[in-house]
Structure 1
Amino acid sequence: MTILIADYDPSWPEQAAAASAELVEALPGMFLEVEHVGSTSVPGLAAKPVIDLMTSVNTLDDVTDERVAVLERLGYRFEDVGMPNRLFYFREKAQGERSHHLHIVTADTWPTRNERLFRDHLRAHPEMAAEYEAVKRRLAAETDDGFTYTKSKTEVIQRGVDAERTARGLPLVTVWEEV
């Protein structure tokens, strides 16, 4: 499967806002926070054209069977991605290509989520965003394996997360570690 890195699309924030509003309306009171994360949330950054949303809940047990049924009606399907303390769902376009990722995490981890920290760092540091884009484009040209692509970005992501954690006085952790 080819990994597509698309030039920045100025409609990505609007798509994220619409998907966020849809989730909040369909599941009132469930999500404490909903934010656009991932590369599509960084203005000007090329990305895989998949809208990543991160939401918080009090506990993952708040995602009851009834609420999962609502997510499924909205087109979200659960996938076990091996990340503890997180529920991950995805939605596809009619052609079977992923259009959205939904990460559900607990409110107690919200302020220190690496995805949010890295997004904020890229937004504030265009030189790192440019470096990250170059790495993503190079990797997409070199591999069609999603796992290899993701893991190969770790070094630049780690540097960005470390810099943001240091700036905020947070402890350093590996990017794949849940905090």
Structure 2
Amino acid sequence: MAIDIAEYDASWPEQGARASAELIAALPGLFLNVEHVGGTSVPGLAAKPVIDLMASVTRLADVTADREAVLERLGYRPQETAMPERLFYYRNTDLGRRSHHLHIVTANTWGTRNERLFRDHLRMHPEVAAEYGELKRRVAAEEENGLAYTKRKTELIQRAVDHERAARGLPLVPVWEE
């Protein structure tokens, strides 16, 4: 299946804010932070039209079966990933296309999450965002496999995240979680 890269949609920030507010309202007291991350959170950046959200909780165990049932009523389905210390959910449109990703992480890792650091770097460095947009378009045209698409972007993402981590005095770590 082809990888869909859409031109920037000015409604993406509002979609991210609406989805964040919906989660906070549906599960009061669970989420300490909810932010829009990923390509759709960077103004002007072409991206897969999927709203990526990252939320923090005190402990992952706080996402109990009852709370997961609320997420499911909102359309979020759990997906097992190899990413450590993270719960991952996805939501599809009525037509079955992926529309949202929800990454739930612990609050003690919030300030060092690479997704947030990468988003911040792209927002502060429009030349890197432009380079990333061009890379995404090129790789999407050449790859049909989502994993291969993601891995081919790793070098640029690693460079940007390393810059942000160094600037903040954080240790350098691989961006690819396996």
* Interval containing the TM-score (normalised by the shorter chain): over 0.9
Q: Which residue does the alignment assign to 1:166?
A: 166
Which one-letter code corresponds to 1:132 in the other structure? Answer: Y
Taking the aligned partners of 2:85 and 2:140, their CA distance within structure 1 comes to 29
Q: Which residue does the alignment assign to 2:155?
A: 155
Q: The residue matched to 1:8 in structure 2 has which SS?
A: coil
Question: Which consecutive residues of structure 1, in runs of 5 or more, have no partner in the other structure?
Answer: none
How many aligned positions are there?
178
Taking the aligned partners of 1:82 and 1:177, their CA distance within structure 2 comes to 7
Q: Which residue does the alignment assign to 1:6?
A: 6
Q: The residue matched to 2:53 in structure 1 has which SS?
A: strand
Question: Which consecutive residues of structure 2, in runs of 5 or more, have no partner in the other structure?
Answer: none
Q: Which residue does the alignment assign to 2:74?
A: 74
Q: Does 1:128 align with 2:136?
A: no
Taking the aligned partners of 1:148 and 1:127, their CA distance within structure 2 comes to 24
Taking the aligned partners of 1:62 and 1:138, their CA distance within structure 2 comes to 41
Q: Which residue does the alignment assign to 1:38?
A: 38
When structure 1 is superposed on structure 2, of 102-111 and 163-172 the one drifting more is 163-172
Taking the aligned partners of 1:109 and 1:64, their CA distance within structure 2 comes to 20
TM-score, normalization by structure 2: 0.99
Which one-letter code corresponds to 2:53 in the other structure? Answer: L
TM-score, normalization by structure 1: 0.98
Q: Identity of aligned pairs, percent?
A: 72
Q: The residue matched to 2:13 in structure 1 has which SS?
A: helix
Q: The residue matched to 2:105 in structure 1 has which SS?
A: strand
Taking the aligned partners of 1:106 and 1:136, their CA distance within structure 2 comes to 29
Q: Which residue does the alignment assign to 1:94?
A: 94
Taking the aligned partners of 1:77 and 1:8, their CA distance within structure 2 comes to 26
Answer whether contact 2:82 2:177 (CA < 8 A) is retained.
Answer: no
Residues 60-118 of structure 1: CA distance to partner in whole angstroms, max 9, x if unpaired? 00000000000000000000121110000000001110000000000000000000000
| Segments ≥4 residues shifted beyond 4 Å | none
Q: The residue matched to 2:82 in structure 1 has which SS?
A: coil
Taking the aligned partners of 1:63 and 1:70, their CA distance within structure 2 comes to 10
Taking the aligned partners of 1:21 and 1:48, their CA distance within structure 2 comes to 22
Q: CA deviation at 1:151?
A: 0.7
Q: Which residue does the alignment assign to 1:62?
A: 62
Q: Which residue does the alignment assign to 1:21?
A: 21
